[in-house]
Chain A
Amino acid sequence: MHPAPSLILFTVLSGTGFGLLVWLGFGLSAPLGLAAFILFGLGYGLAGAGLIAAAFHLGHPERALKAFTQWRSSWLSREAVLATASLAVMAPHAASSAFAATPLPLFGGLGAVLALATIFATAMIYAQIRAVPRWHHWSTPPVFVLAALAGGAMLAARNTLAHWLMLALAAAMVAHWVAGDRRFVQSGSNTGTATGLGALGRVRLLEPPHSGRNYLLREMVHVVGRKHAHKLRLIALGFGAIIPALLLMLPASYGTITLALVLHLTGMAAQRWLFFAEAEHVVGLYYGKR
């Protein structure tokens, strides 16, 4: 799949933002006054920036409101509804914490649940796509959710929590890769089933339907070099989870936390890039790309 920068940015930033909001909402971190203003602002800012980045991905952002209508069936619609709902429900809690120094746990708790659901919905947008076997797996939501919660916990300065979440995230990423590498074969789709000619012999694309490129190839067929992928996995794992986890064991200081945060976000960007770039869509079978 094409690793569109807008999507990488969106999933990383908004994920982290909602992750932070989860912790803020649950009151695990209960900043008040200016601290609340800053932290809630950060959470809203990240979540909002992510949503704006996502809007860049749309052909017709002016019709975006229509995306709230299909929550019964569409995870993307659910995500939109949940994101808005969580931000709205959390708002009294946030405002009250910042300006009245009085958390409103009911709103906070409900908002946190919604924020968690938002992250899950984002993950499900990908996990539901059967045509991308690497995504279509139970390990996809954990990666998204843990990444968001770990990043959020770090921002919320819940270092121990963040430490353990980082380790869990590392495990989830590894699981996702290990499982992912086998998913295409496990999906049962191959050029034989794609064409229905598999029983006749070995099937191979001779000529694509057109000599130029097309939307499908641009969007859904992206070939990453294996060496490249290996390196990026190490970066994702190391920067995204392990090193931050180690840094979080050190005595807390702005320096280490900032470093951990930067590394984590860099690592997660690498992870997301790979998440798209390594994901093979079965349509590639029709283009001899597998």
Chain B
Amino acid sequence: MTTLPATTQKKLGLVIDLDTCVGCHACVISCKGWNTENYGAPLADLDAYGGNPEGTFLNRVHTFEVTRETAPPMVVHFPKSCLHCDNAPCVTVCPTGASYKRVEDGIVLVNESACIGCGLCAWACPYGAREMDGAEKVMKKCTLCVDRIYNENLPEEDRTPACVRTCPAGARHFGDFSDPDSHVSKLSAARGGFDLMPEQGTAPVNKYLPPRGRDTLDVPDLASMCEPAPKTAKGFLGWLDRALERL
């Protein structure tokens, strides 16, 4: 199974809006909660209350600072989970077939019962999207909530990834990139959605929207916005009188 399908029927994935993400980690924890209880083994936490806690997470939020020549520095919160790459190197390296890319929708999954825990797929992923579970010793990764998005036990509107459903800022969007008319395709096209590390040749499905221009506020001086600029206190009273007259 570790050969990649030539094409997939759908290309499901996420759009993550870096202009909107406030870095709240809500998506991180809802992912942890859902996936601890669902697909595969629970996500373990080792030394959970001790000096070196180390748990498995399928989605994590980094924070970067961007310093600029002329404008003030920016801070960008940066959530990252599996990008469900079209050309997923994590899949082709897997010796057991545990890692595979679904033909139906392009979701990259690990079949935990076949995984020998060799860790090679995590090496192959440039994005750090795979983590070996500390207790179960099998490879864990974002499932794109494959057990939610088609789940007939959930109301229609909840058939969306846990992280998307929970994101308070609405910075995460889920959909089918193979359909140019889908919400995610259009959003990505309109806002300049980009790939992470395109030079790695992974052809990620997930897209990131860049932060919009920051610190661009630059409007004409107030005085030029109104005709007779009162300016002085005396002038102000005159203006006030005229303005009250007009009311």
- Do A and B have CB atoms closer than 8 angstroms in the complex? yes
Interface residues of A (CB under 8 A from B): 1, 57-61, 63-64, 66-70, 72-77, 80, 125, 128-132, 187-189, 191, 193-197, 200-210, 212-216, 218-220, 281-283, 286-287
Q: CB of B94 within 8 A of chain A?
A: yes
Residues of A within 8 A of B28 (CB): 209
B99-124 contacts to A, CB under 8 A, are 114-120, 122-124
- B200 interface residue per 8 A CB criterion: yes
**9 A/B residue pairs, CB under 8 Å, sorted by A:** A59-B117, A59-B132, A63-B96, A66-B114, A77-B95, A200-B74, A201-B69, A204-B66, A214-B55
Q: Mark B176-203, 1 if CB is under 8 A from A, else 0.
A: 0000000000000000001111111100
Judging by beta carbons under 8 Å apart, are B116 and A63 in contact?
Answer: yes
**Closest residue to A128 on the B side, CB-wise?**
B93
Interface-lining segment among B56-64, B155-163, B224-232, B239-247: B56-64
Rank and list the top 10 A-B pairs by shortest CB-CB distance, nearest first. A59-B117, A59-B137, A209-B60, A283-B128, A201-B68, A77-B95, A188-B199, A76-B95, A66-B96, A131-B126
- Give chain A residues whose Cβ lies under 8 Å from the Cβ of B68: 200-202
Q: Is the CB of B116 within 8 A of A64?
A: yes
Pair B66/A67 contact, Cβ less than 8 Å = no
Q: Are A216's CB and B123's CB within 8 A?
A: no
CB distance from B208 to the nearest CB of A (A): 6
A195 to B76, Cβ gap below 8 A?
A: yes
Q: Is B127 within 8 A of A283, CB to CB?
A: yes
Interface string of B127-171 (1 = CB under 8 A from A): 110011010111000000000000000000000000000000000
Which B residue's beta carbon lies closest to that of A282?
A: B126
Q: Say whether A197 contacts B64, CB under 8 Å.
A: yes
Verify if B211 is at the interface (C-beta below 8 Å from A).
Answer: yes
Distance in Å from the Cβ of B43 to the closest Cβ of chain A? 11
Q: How far is the CA of A203 from the CA of B199 in the complex (A)?
A: 18
Q: B237 within 8 Å of A by Cβ?
A: no
CB atoms of B2 and A210 under 8 A apart: no
Which bucket holds chain B's interface residue count? 35 or more
Q: Which residues of chain A come closer than 8 Å to B18, judged between CB atoms?
A: 196-197
List, in ascending order, chain A residues with CB within 8 A of B62's CB.
Answer: 205, 207-209, 286-287
Known: A57-B119, A206-B75. A189 touches B126 (CB 8 A): yes
A80 to B96, CA, bound (A): 11
Whether A212 pairs with B52 at a CB distance below 8 angstroms is yes
Contact B123 A129 (CB under 8 A): yes
Cβ of B24 within 8 Å of any chain A Cβ, yes or no, is: no
Q: Is the interface of B mostly helix, strand, loop or mixed?
A: loop
Closest to B93 in A: A74
Contact in complex: B75, A67 (CB < 8 Å)? no
Which residues does chain A contribute within 8 Å of B194, judged by CB atoms? 196
Residues in B with CB closer than 8 Å to A58 are 116-118
Contacts of B128 in A (CB 8 A): 216, 220, 283, 286-287
Question: Across the interface, do B93 and A201 meet the contact criterion of CB distance under 8 Å?
Answer: no
For B10, the chain A residues whose CB sits under 8 A away are none
* A129 vs B89: C-alpha distance when bound (angstroms): 8
Name B94's contact: one of A70, A130, A189 (CB within 8 Å): A70
Evaluate whether A193 and B116 lie within 8 angstroms (CB atoms) in the complex, with A70-B94, A283-B127 already known.
no
B92 within 8 A of A: yes
Question: Quick check: A77 and B96 within 8 Å, CB to CB?
Answer: yes
Q: What string of 1s and 0s marks CB contacts (under 8 Å) between B22-57 and chain A?
A: 000000100000000000000000000000111111
A200 / chain B contacts, CB cutoff of 8 Å = 66, 68, 74, 210-211
What's the Cα separation between A77 and B57 when bound, in Å?
Answer: 28
Q: Which residues of B contact A201 (CB under 8 A)?
A: 66-69, 73-74
Nearest-neighbor residue (CB-CB) of A75 within chain B? B93
Tell whether, in the assembled complex, residue B116 and residue A61 are in contact, meaning their CB atoms are under 8 Å apart.
Answer: yes
Most chain B CB inside 10 Å of its own CB: which residue of A208, A210, A218: A210
A63 to B127, CA, bound (A): 27
Check B67–A196 contact: CB distance below 8 A.
no
B98 in the interface, Cβ–Cβ < 8 Å?
yes
Contact pick for A216, options B120, B131, B198, CB 8 Å: B131
Give every chain A residue within 8 A of B211 (Cβ-Cβ).
197, 200
Does the CB pair A283–B126 fall under 8 Å? yes
User: Are B54 and A67 in contact, with the CB atoms below 8 A?
Assistant: no
Evaluate contact between B196 and A194: CB separation under 8 angstroms.
Answer: yes
B44: min CB distance to chain A, Å: 11
B52 touches A189 (CB 8 A): no
Is B63 a contact of A70 with CB atoms below 8 Å? no
